[in-house]
């Protein structure tokens, strides 16, 4: 456009200089007419040029918005705002889960994260979600303390047009969320049961009398691990002497195990803790009660999560097998958000990769529903790489 404007002005200048050179009145009038013509032409050309410039600027702004959307910024060019209602701070696993989200959804990465630690309080968690709705965040992430009671508040999120992504534990009484990223807790429970069957056979242990310290009652992780282990126990004719909740905490694990050591003294040969922190507490209680646990001792101790400290206890010959639950969901949640930003439809379920850990003498072949499983030897390198 600039060339056209320049060409118009140059040709007009040439006409004016020719006419001015004639010196006659007629020529002068003609020059004045030419000048007016030039001025009109120049104005028209300038207006057209300006219009084109405006168009170019708008196109550039659109390109910036698109680039921002790709780079993790909201449509107005600002950061993507996220509300995250986290279960609490009850375990090493939870600490890793929170850190994963705070690392990924940082301001440097183009996000504004509103984080609420709901301290294992279901009412506080619903209140946190409603506060995110009031804030008008772009996305809401929920790790549901328990699996039920969610449809009302998820309907409020849907009415507000805010997509919800569920991580880790599941919501079992509503599907008003765009995606869930987590683990198969039933598989984890079955893995522990099938491993115990194979290991007991290898060790020549004919009778299993198990005590279970379960997670927070009603949490999908507790439900899945309890159901999965019980399915194998029922099939194999084992006895589950008792199951009480340790609420996924070390204090809870110790308190329940202290009670078990009194009530079931000399009657149990397996303890199943539904996370490592409960196992830490149970070990303290068994130490205090003089109960020998770990490979080569009276009691087989099984745990879940496989956090760094849990694997250290496997390597130390205290926990016989540790069934991982991967807390590092945030990168997969970010993938879901980017898909939504790009107008794509994410998968409704995204499963995390998990491993089953033991020392060489406790590594045995087993299957889950016919699928052969691979166990991972706990080494110093494996521990150093864990979450
Ligand atoms: C499982 C997660 C559980 C962990 C515990 O996905 O929800 O909650 O197993 C944590 O450590 O407290």
| Other residues' Cβ atoms within 10 Å of the Cβ of residue 13 | 12
**pLDDT score for 4:** 45
Does ligand 1 lie within 6 Å of residue 304's CB atom?
A: yes
User: Under a CB-based contact definition with an 8 Å cutoff, are residues 327 and 93 in contact?
Assistant: yes
Does ligand 1 lie within 6 Å of residue 94's CB atom?
A: yes
CA of 317 to the centre of ligand 1 (A): 23
Q: So where are the chain's domains? A: 2-75, 80-182, 185-325+355-385
Please, which residues bridge with residue 83 across strands?
A: 114, 140
The yes-or-no verdict on residue 57 having pLDDT over 80 is no
Between CA 62 and CA 60 the distance in angstroms is 5
**pLDDT score for 69:** 44
Indicate the top mutation candidate among 100, 169, 305, 332 to test ligand 1's pocket, ranked by most ligand atoms within 8 A of CB. 305
Among residues of the chain, what percentage have pLDDT more than 90?
80
pLDDT tens-digit series, residues 357-371: 999 999 999 999 999
Does ligand 1 lie within 6 Å of residue 275's CB atom?
A: yes
Please, which residues bridge with residue 358 across strands?
A: 377
CA of 314 to the centre of ligand 1 (A): 19
- CATH fold of 80-182 reads Rossmann fold (3.40.50)
CA of 47 to the centre of ligand 1 (A): 65
State the sign of the Cα–Cα–Cα–Cα dihedral 94, 95, 96, 101: positive
CA of 72 to the centre of ligand 1 (A): 29
pLDDT tens-digit series, residues 68-101: 444 445 656 789 999 999 999 999 999 999 999 9
Specify the DSSP class assigned to residue 350. Answer: E
CA distances from 257 to 123, 179, 247, 254 (A): 29, 37, 13, 5
Residue with tokens 């009038």: 29
pLDDT tens-digit series, residues 211-230: 999 999 999 999 999 999 99
CA distances from 369 to 123, 180, 229, 302, 303 (A): 38, 23, 13, 20, 21
The yes-or-no verdict on residue 45 having pLDDT over 60 is no
Between CA 147 and CA 135 the distance in angstroms is 25
DSSP 100-165: HHHHHT-TTTTEEEEEEE-TT-HHHHHHHHHHHHHHT-SEEEE--SSSSS-HHHHHHHHHTT--EE
The yes-or-no verdict on residue 32 having pLDDT over 70 is no
Tell me which of 52 and 317 has the higher pLDDT: 317
Does ligand 1 lie within 6 Å of residue 324's CB atom?
A: no
Does ligand 1 lie within 6 Å of residue 305's CB atom?
A: yes
Does ligand 1 lie within 6 Å of residue 216's CB atom?
A: no
Can you tell me which atom of ligand 1 is nearest the CA of 168? 6
Can you tell me which atom of ligand 1 is nearest the CA of 327? 6
Between CA 191 and CA 229 the distance in angstroms is 8
Does ligand 1 lie within 6 Å of residue 183's CB atom?
A: yes
CA of 175 to the centre of ligand 1 (A): 21
The closest residue, in CA terms, to atom 2 on ligand 1 is 221
DSSP three-state, residue 80 = strand
Domains 80-182 and 185-325+355-385 share a fold: yes
Q: Which of 317, 320, 329, 311 is nearest to 382 (CA)?
A: 311
User: Under a CB-based contact definition with an 8 Å cutoff, are residues 198 and 341 in contact?
Assistant: no
Between CA 117 and CA 96 the distance in angstroms is 13
The yes-or-no verdict on residue 8 having pLDDT over 60 is no
Between CA 237 and CA 84 the distance in angstroms is 43
Q: How confident is the model at residue 56 (pLDDT cuts 50, 70, 90)?
A: low
Ramachandran region of residue 123, left (φ > 0), alpha (ψ -120 to 50) or beta?
alpha
pLDDT tens-digit series, residues 242-268: 999 999 999 999 999 999 999 999 999
Q: Which of 330, 138, 322 is nearest to 225 (CA)?
A: 322
The yes-or-no verdict on residue 104 having pLDDT over 60 is yes
pLDDT tens-digit series, residues 131-140: 999 999 999 9
| Residues in Cβ contact with 326 at an 8 Å cutoff, skipping those fewer than 6 apart | 183, 352, 353, 354, 387
The yes-or-no verdict on residue 149 having pLDDT over 70 is yes
CA of 255 to the centre of ligand 1 (A): 19
Q: What backbone torsions phi and psi does residue 237 show, to the nearest 5 degrees?
A: 75, 25
Q: How confident is the model at residue 350 (pLDDT cuts 50, 70, 90)?
A: very high
Between CA 132 and CA 168 the distance in angstroms is 20
Does CATH place domain 185-325+355-385 in 3.30.70.580? no
User: Under a CB-based contact definition with an 8 Å cutoff, are residues 190 and 368 in contact?
Assistant: yes
CA of 163 to the centre of ligand 1 (A): 24
Question: Which segments of 166-273 does DSSP mark as H helices, in order?
Answer: 185-203, 220-236, 250-263
The yes-or-no verdict on residue 302 having pLDDT over 60 is yes
The closest residue, in CA terms, to atom 3 on ligand 1 is 221
């Amino acid at each position: 456009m600039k060339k056209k404007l320049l060409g118009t002005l140059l040709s007009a200048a040439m006409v004016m200089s020719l006419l001015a050179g004639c010196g006659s009145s007629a020529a002068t009038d003609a020059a004045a007419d030419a000048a007016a013509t030039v001025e009109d032409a120049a104005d028209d050309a300038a207006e057209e040029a300006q219009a084109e410039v405006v168009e170019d600027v708008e196109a550039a702004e659109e390109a910036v918005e698109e680039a921002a959307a790709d780079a993790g910024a909201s449509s107005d060019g600002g950061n993507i705002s996220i509300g995250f209602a986290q279960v609490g701070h009850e375990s090493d696993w939870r600490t890793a889960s929170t850190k994963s989200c705070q690392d990924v959804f940082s301001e440097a990465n183009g996000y504004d994260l509103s984080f609420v630690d709901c301290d294992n309080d279901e009412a506080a968690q619903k209140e946190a979600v409603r506060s995110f709705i009031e804030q008008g965040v772009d996305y809401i992430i929920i790790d549901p303390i328990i699996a039920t009671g969610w449809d009302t508040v998820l309907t409020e999120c849907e009415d507000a047009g805010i997509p919800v992504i569920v991580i880790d534990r599941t919501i079992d009484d509503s599907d008003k969320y765009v995606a869930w990223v987590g683990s198969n807790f039933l598989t984890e429970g079955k893995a522990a049961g099938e491993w115990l069957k194979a290991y007991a056979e290898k060790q020549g242990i004919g009778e299993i009398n198990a005590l279970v310290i379960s997670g927070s009652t009603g949490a999908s992780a507790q439900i899945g691990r309890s159901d999965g282990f019980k399915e194998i126990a029922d099939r194999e004719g084992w006895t589950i002497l008792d199951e009480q909740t340790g609420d996924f905490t070390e204090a809870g694990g110790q308190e329940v195990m202290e009670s078990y050591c009194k009530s079931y003294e000399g009657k149990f040969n397996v303890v199943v803790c539904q996370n490592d922190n409960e196992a830490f507490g149970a070990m303290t209680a068994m130490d205090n009660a003089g109960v020998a646990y770990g490979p080569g001792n009276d009691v087989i101790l099984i745990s879940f999560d496989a956090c760094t400290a849990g694997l250290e206890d496997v390597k130390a010959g205290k926990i016989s097998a540790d069934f991982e639950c991967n807390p590092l969901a945030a990168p997969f949640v970010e993938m879901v958000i980017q898909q939504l930003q790009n107008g794509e439809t994410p998968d409704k379920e995204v499963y995390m990769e998990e491993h089953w850990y033991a020392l060489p003498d406790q590594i045995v072949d087993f299957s889950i529903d016919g699928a052969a499983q691979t166990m991972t030897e706990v080494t110093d390198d494996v521990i150093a790489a864990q979450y």
